[in-house]
Structure 1
């Protein structure tokens, strides 16, 4: 296969200083395929490396002609963004100045110790530390220093970590390519030295048995799908590790966790609609897993433990927003489930944690979260479990906010931890005593360069969608920003997998807002912002609601006078990048620019390729175009890459990662190649591929800020605020 051309040659030749460089022009090499009697022609299929699995592990193995094309795109983007260099540096410095460089989390107690991550001044990565219970952070023992581990590597990511119950060993997983293939190592915390046990190509999840002798972990198949649970006995060869569970259906992925009681290790088998849980007795790791109840399509459940019973959150019996049931550990199948928290439509149960004397629920209603605490009656009998007279909730009064709950390590405790923030309020960490209801502020996010929440406004609007649904939109702007339509607006959206977008604080986005942007989050269908129905109304054959909701949010903000048409910069990533591609095709004149982070834009081709890592588990989310012509036709009708046509597009910036296993690099690369060929406007069409990272971009906290500064400089420049 021959390579692409850039202009009339195979190399990038930048123009002199008096003229802009010519953009890369990818060679068209049509590949024809037929599905359901429909012929598809893909002019840029060659950008997809035949050896993509090898490239995930060894990026240097990318074919030369593909690398040349990506390098040419990067060179063009660098040249076109060169004038923003000083602005990028200014943005980076001010965003960095808002970070407390020597910051640390509030330590979490576990028996004789308290564990916490911290950053040191100038460090890109966190240190994992511990102190004696009740001790001072100044006396911390550094268990793992991310900066030392990452030294000499262009990418480094710490996956799961777990210490043994006796606090002698730490298992941790790291990825140094961005491909999400983790190597597990085990550290002796007394000596600081790693044991000989080393497990490559894991999925990063891990759990210890009670005695700290057996480590459970997940391996991936040749398509990088997490399908196998193994157990490793310390001191034995990894080749002797025992296969504990194998998932035969490639449409399901496998996860590992444990109950709060630490009595059971949980094997969670799931796709986006269906789940199944198996229990491993942590005290008897050789006994093998035991199923709770068999999977059936559309049934989701999660498991916690208390005494002789399991506490299960489930959507069974048409409980769309979930209910909570109890079942005996000895006979946990669904026939023995007894309801203890009824389903309430519109109140979505997000998470359930079980302690010795309390159960907590994280819920969302009217698109706002709250924590509900319910005491357990003495004895915790199945027929009389809750003391409902003591049930109470934790909530806040702001118009829009974010709330997160942490269970910590301990089971027999009255304390939980939660974090609170809003678009104007920096994060606050609280300890909450479930018995006394006392709330203790443990930490308030410090902004070294200064931040006055009173200088900003947070608002929540409801935008009428095409079908009459009301789409929540959260706004942030400075009090001094004119609300006469002259301000540019930065509109963020995601809208997939049931993931809600929290109205949480961000130090970085202040750099936009302080320069006159209005920042907005559109809580569109496809997420669970307004309950589970909000999710199902934005998937499969209702997927287009996600796109029209986002457009409706933008149009409502125009009609309310916050901005004007063609003055909106849209942003979304991954599945939110699909949103960016769709709205570029559907309403290009509404937007000044679109920033698409690792965008899932080649939807039809990806869903037709059953060998890609995520394709089979994604069919319940988008549909299966291989087996269903209806699904094929519907996906084809909105797939961004397939619907690029000759029209005026707004400014486009697409970001990709070479080793990204979730949204492969060739999706944005193909999309940009086709858009550049068909775009009839003079607006910028740019692609930037990180050749040393994957889905999450740069791994270090400062390098991540540089990526953000790059994106924001693009938005500010096209909006005329790049000064």
Structure 2
């Protein structure tokens, strides 16, 4: 079957006196906002091209269909199908999610705190029947436990319809609010609800107050963010006393407080926004606890401020800034403050007794692991829930008594088909980058895998927004490792793996450090005999897909294959289009090429789509989602069209567009496994392990 050849309709694009030609701009639907909400409105010629690409991809992968089925079967066999979360107590009840055997989606349930009969609050699997895509955005119970605010998205566009349900009867009230972000927060009266809506360009920009049972058109606008570069959200302190109206981009934030006991009072500002200054807020008594990078605290510090007068002039250091110790988050309970931090590239939890100031840490001994704070509803408690896993250790959920320091294992991830951790090795190595930095790499492989250069290696990377990819357990990557593939995560610049500086050194005009770090990681792993040049398969999604596009341009012969999921590859055109959902908020991350010629030139130098060249590219699988509001479907479509017209070899080049989903792919747990099995089969095929 011949690959689809996209028509060329050249468009001249000019900025800062520089003219570019875009042959495939026509793949961007003029009515993209409408397509997000109703995919059937996509122009026929665009749909025909995407469907032709899907047909070609299916044909090219036909020889792996048996492998895909085998991979899906073994991945599914590692899932405990009738699984449930550890119930989270809140007053008289405990809330949990639970899967029935064979169900794609969970049930949201509750029981009495002491146990007993279960009440099904939301049977998401039943609700999803008949929908190609169905995702729950949130299920938040009211303080009196009588009502559930829940939201659903049935397009994959992340535009959620908010509903209110009676907990005991399961009856949905007439209240139905469309085009929300999915989450909602209750005031103390259990009848007032706050929610965030999306504008026509899919940006969360307004917060409304709703009285249950009242007409939606009577909802009150509480706060509006007029700067298109800032997104708006609504949250709540652990104490439940204050709602938090949060305006933010990728480096600046501003918080307003709403008293949950006086929901009609206007929001009250904590501290006005300052460029490149972030802060998050929690609460106890008359005091706010604020995590911030103010006053040069690059790796963040914790300050306190009086609720009555919380401005910066009244901030007092509680946990001072310590370079190299990145504080990631904090939660304040009645008697304790908990912070999650990272030092030396590894996470730890630190407990502080508020009355005495005494601190102690929870840490683990493996070379690479993942640690996270669990979500709890209660404030007056000594119990902290956290999760732990490593690349060889399945996830464990612990309850930890902050007063007695007793740790209780509440749940360990079951792998029904069996998992013997002793068969595997997890390691951390440090790779010298070209400028003297060292890049951490987390490795997983079977003990019997030869380290003589003969093994293929999957190298995963992200490296943007300060996001750290955890060295956590995954049932799906075992299917690669058990077939002799080494799995590696490159913790490149652009993440916060080594502190905030690691992030700052991989964004804006320093973005290419991310790409160079990833290439250096691959070169090192080949030189040290873990693999060899040409045996490395790169894998990244979203901004990690941009990484894949960039390194494919820069070092194509290093890779034996590339998997780019929802890849952000048309960077320059996207950052020049202020109407797209994420563009204005992301100028701090990438630069603003509309206002700055230097930013334009910086982005143009690496934007994968703009730097496709006449060269031999490795096999590439690009995956997109038609209703994706984050990385629009036309980015991978344009990229593949240009690669196909430009590259000089006949290595496989495949585009798969999910016509029924968005950024996260399929919504069901088994449907999503099928997508993972497909991409894994591609990796094994190009690695000669199929």
TM class, shorter-length = over 0.9
Q: Structure 2 CA distance, aligned partners of 1:529 and 1:131?
A: 39
Match for residue 670 of structure 1 among 625, 628, 638: 638
Query: Equivalences for 1:385-534 in 2 at 5 Å?
Result: 387-388=356-357, 390-534=358-502
Tell me the residue number matched to 1:156.
Answer: 134
Tell me the residue number matched to 1:54.
Answer: 34
**CA-CA distance at 1:205 after TM superposition:** 2.0
* 8 Å Cα contact 2:553-2:608 kept in structure 1: yes
Q: Structure 2 CA distance, aligned partners of 1:185 and 1:669?
A: 36
1:480/1:172 CA distance change after superposition, 3 Å: same
Match for residue 604 of structure 2 among 608, 616, 636: 636
Q: Structure 2 CA distance, aligned partners of 1:55 and 1:300?
A: 35
Q: Structure 1 CA distance, aligned partners of 2:288 and 2:375?
A: 17
Query: Equivalences for 1:563-582 in 2 at 5 Å?
Result: 563-582=531-550
Q: Structure 2 CA distance, aligned partners of 1:625 and 1:717?
A: 40
The question of 1:296 aligning with 2:274 is answered yes
Q: Structure 2 CA distance, aligned partners of 1:235 and 1:708?
A: 43
**CA-CA distance at 1:155 after TM superposition:** 0.1
Match for residue 112 of structure 1 among 92, 108, 117: 92
**CA-CA distance at 1:616 after TM superposition:** 0.3
Name the count of aligned residue pairs.
690
Q: Secondary structure at the match of 1:286?
A: coil
Q: Structure 2 CA distance, aligned partners of 1:258 and 1:402?
A: 26
Match for residue 135 of structure 1 among 89, 92, 115: 115
Tell me the residue number matched to 2:48.
Answer: 68
1:659-704 CA distances to partner (integer Å, 9 max, x unpaired)?
0000000000000000011111120000000000000000000000
Q: Secondary structure at the match of 2:361?
A: strand
Q: Structure 2 CA distance, aligned partners of 1:406 and 1:106?
A: 10
**CA-CA distance at 1:134 after TM superposition:** 2.1
TM-score of the two chains, using structure 1 as the length reference: 0.95
Q: Structure 1 CA distance, aligned partners of 2:635 and 2:140?
A: 35
Tell me the residue number matched to 2:328.
Answer: 350
**CA-CA distance at 1:407 after TM superposition:** 4.5
Q: Structure 2 CA distance, aligned partners of 1:310 and 1:683?
A: 58
Q: Structure 2 CA distance, aligned partners of 1:517 and 1:411?
A: 46
Tell me the residue number matched to 2:124.
Answer: 146
**CA-CA distance at 1:539 after TM superposition:** 0.3
RMSD over aligned Cα atoms: 0.6
Tell me the residue number matched to 2:58.
Answer: 78
Query: Equivalences for 1:590-669 in 2 at 5 Å?
Result: 590-669=558-637
Q: Structure 1 CA distance, aligned partners of 2:80 and 2:169?
A: 31
Q: Structure 2 CA distance, aligned partners of 1:573 and 1:516?
A: 23
**CA-CA distance at 1:235 after TM superposition:** 1.1
* 8 Å Cα contact 1:463-1:552 kept in structure 2: yes
Q: Structure 1 CA distance, aligned partners of 2:77 and 2:168?
A: 37
Tell me the residue number matched to 1:381.
Answer: none
**CA-CA distance at 1:125 after TM superposition:** 0.4
**CA-CA distance at 1:350 after TM superposition:** 0.4
Match for residue 513 of structure 2 among 545, 558, 573: 545
* 8 Å Cα contact 2:444-2:486 kept in structure 1: yes
Tell me the residue number matched to 1:712.
Answer: 680
Query: Equivalences for 1:221-236 in 2 at 5 Å?
Result: 221-236=199-214
Q: Structure 2 CA distance, aligned partners of 1:148 and 1:40?
A: 51
TM-score of the two chains, using structure 2 as the length reference: 1.00
**CA-CA distance at 1:91 after TM superposition:** 0.2
Q: Structure 2 CA distance, aligned partners of 1:83 and 1:33?
A: 42
**CA-CA distance at 1:182 after TM superposition:** 0.2
* 8 Å Cα contact 1:407-1:416 kept in structure 2: no
Tell me the residue number matched to 1:9.
Answer: none
* 8 Å Cα contact 2:522-2:558 kept in structure 1: yes
Q: Structure 1 CA distance, aligned partners of 2:180 and 2:113?
A: 33
Match for residue 14 of structure 2 among 34, 39, 55: 34
1:396-448 CA distances to partner (integer Å, 9 max, x unpaired)?
00000000112400000000000100000000100000000000000111000
Q: Secondary structure at the match of 1:116?
A: strand
Tell me the residue number matched to 1:95.
Answer: 75
Tell me the residue number matched to 1:320.
Answer: 298
Tell me the residue number matched to 2:689.
Answer: 721
Q: Structure 1 CA distance, aligned partners of 2:283 and 2:143?
A: 18
* 8 Å Cα contact 1:353-1:407 kept in structure 2: no
Q: Unpaired segments of 5 or more residues in structure 2?
A: none
* 8 Å Cα contact 2:119-2:168 kept in structure 1: no
Q: Secondary structure at the match of 2:296?
A: coil
Match for residue 151 of structure 2 among 173, 198, 203: 173
The question of 1:185 aligning with 2:163 is answered yes
1:429-488 CA distances to partner (integer Å, 9 max, x unpaired)?
000000000000001110000000000000000011111110000000001111110000
The question of 1:211 aligning with 2:189 is answered yes
Q: Structure 1 CA distance, aligned partners of 2:362 and 2:318?
A: 20
Query: Equivalences for 1:193-208 in 2 at 5 Å?
Result: 193-208=171-186
* 8 Å Cα contact 2:458-2:538 kept in structure 1: yes
Query: Equivalences for 1:259-408 in 2 at 5 Å?
Result: 259-377=237-355, 387-388=356-357, 390-408=358-376
Q: Unpaired segments of 5 or more residues in structure 1?
A: 1-20, 378-386
Q: Structure 1 CA distance, aligned partners of 2:614 and 2:423?
A: 44
Q: Structure 2 CA distance, aligned partners of 1:561 and 1:373?
A: 42
